[in-house]
């Protein structure tokens, strides 16, 4: 489908800014310094604002109306910056609560290693009730390593399940592999939370497609993010496989794009958010765009 036909299929003029599509997994900035070293003042918010604003304006013109920023606490989460960018671009930008246990726990603060899953859940519930710098988190972002999960990873997903059960927030979990995804879903079920509130982030990294099916049939969301110029064919293969199984209604897509890299000169290479619109969506069959970028995100995360 050519670009003009694609826009026509959405019943939009080329300059329209509101087909109401949703990017469920992107980033504005990330700081990989580690939880023990991260501190205010490691970057200039004005410089980040100038870098991010034109990237967001571009996808606003292409139809993005909601952008879910998946940078968690202790990795560079900055709700004030996100609110400024939202006001400047007209895109609704969501932030999150939760903690990131992946990458061998380098981004877990010391208190997370001491406290119980119940105590962590209570912290996240407080952020949801009271907001973070005046911004209310709209989902739970966590991360775990490859399965089988260790004690800290299990504690983080248990805390997320408790928090989800009490707040209704959806869990988006950076997940090392399919084994870790299935184990997390089992923990969510054991904690009496809904698998429909769990998103397997980075599912495209798992080449065993039977695990994509298993997660979806359990009621979880399977997220094929990471869409970029070199991955279009594999992502399309993943989507077609799920469609053949009748499971496209359990699939999310996004890019994991951006972002300003704190500590690199000028923020490093900032990937555009437009690849999915310009290169990937025109490859999809009719009807899939509304399913994958409108209906499924709303069902997974809410309106």
Q: Percentage of residues in the chain with pLDDT exceeding 90? A: 93
Query: Residue 13: its pLDDT value, please?
Result: 35
Sequence-separated (6 or more) residues with CB below 8 Å from residue 196? 219, 220, 221, 300
Report the CATH number that the domain containing residue 203 is assigned in CATH. 3.20.20.140
Total structural domains within the chain: 1
The string of pLDDT tens digits covering residues 154-187 is 999 999 999 999 999 999 999 999 999 999 999 9
DSSP 47-103: HHHHHHHHHHHHHHHHTEEEEEE-PPTTTT--HHHHHHHHHHH--EEE-EE--B-TT
Query: Residue 14: its pLDDT value, please?
Result: 38
Query: Residue 18: its pLDDT value, please?
Result: 37
**Between 15 and 138, whose confidence is greater?**
138
Region for 164 from its dihedrals, namely left if φ exceeds 0, alpha if ψ lies in -120 to 50, beta otherwise: alpha
Query: Residue 36: its pLDDT value, please?
Result: 95
Query: Residue 19: its pLDDT value, please?
Result: 57
Query: Residue 5: its pLDDT value, please?
Result: 45
Average pLDDT over residues 253-275: 97
The string of pLDDT tens digits covering residues 24-45 is 999 999 999 999 999 989 999 9
The string of pLDDT tens digits covering residues 50-91 is 999 999 999 999 999 999 999 999 999 999 999 999 999 999
Confidence tier at 10 by pLDDT (50, 70, 90): very low
The string of pLDDT tens digits covering residues 183-239 is 999 999 999 999 999 999 999 999 999 999 999 999 999 999 999 999 999 999 999
Average pLDDT, the chain: 94
Structural domain boundaries, residue 270: 3-301
Average pLDDT over residues 111-117: 98
Asked whether the CA dihedral 273, 223, 151, 103 is positive or negative, the reply is negative
Look at residue 1 and tell me whether its pLDDT is greater than 60.
no
CA distance 102 to 2: 39
């Amino acid at each position: 489908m050519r670009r003009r036909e694609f826009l026509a299929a959405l019943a939009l003029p080329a300059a329209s800014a509101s087909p109401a599509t949703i990017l469920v997994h992107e980033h504005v900035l990330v700081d990989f310094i580690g939880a023990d070293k991260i501190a205010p003042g490691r970057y200039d918010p004005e410089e980040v604002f100038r870098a991010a604003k034109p990237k967001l304006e571009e996808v606003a013109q292409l139809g993005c109306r909601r952008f879910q920023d998946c940078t968690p606490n202790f990795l560079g989460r900055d709700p004030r910056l996100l609110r400024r960018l939202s006001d400047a671009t007209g895109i609704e930008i969501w932030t999150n609560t939760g903690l990131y246990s992946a990458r061998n726990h380098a981004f877990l603060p010391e208190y997370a290693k001491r406290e119980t899953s119940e105590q962590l859940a209570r912290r996240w519930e407080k952020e949801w009730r009271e907001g973070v710098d005046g911004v209310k988190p709209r989902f739970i972002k966590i991360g775990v390593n490859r399965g089988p999960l260790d004690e800290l990873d299990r504690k983080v997903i248990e805390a997320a399940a408790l928090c989800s059960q009490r707040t209704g927030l959806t869990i988006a979990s950076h997940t090392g592999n399919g084994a870790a995804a299935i184990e997390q879903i089992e923990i969510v079920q054991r904690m009496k939370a809904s698998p429909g509130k769990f998103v397997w982030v980075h599912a495209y990294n798992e080449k065993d497609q039977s695990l994509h099916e298993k997660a979806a049939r359990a009621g979880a969301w399977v997220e094929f993010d990471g869409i970029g110029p070199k991955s279009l064919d594999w992502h399309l293969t993943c989507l077609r496989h799920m469609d053949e199984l009748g499971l496209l209604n359990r699939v999310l897509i996004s890019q994991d794009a951006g972002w300003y890299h704190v500590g690199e000169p000028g923020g490093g290479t900032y990937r555009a958010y437009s690849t999915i619109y310009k290169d990937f969506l025109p490859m999809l069959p009719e009807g899939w765009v509304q399913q994958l970028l409108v209906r499924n995100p709303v069902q997974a995360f809410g309106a």
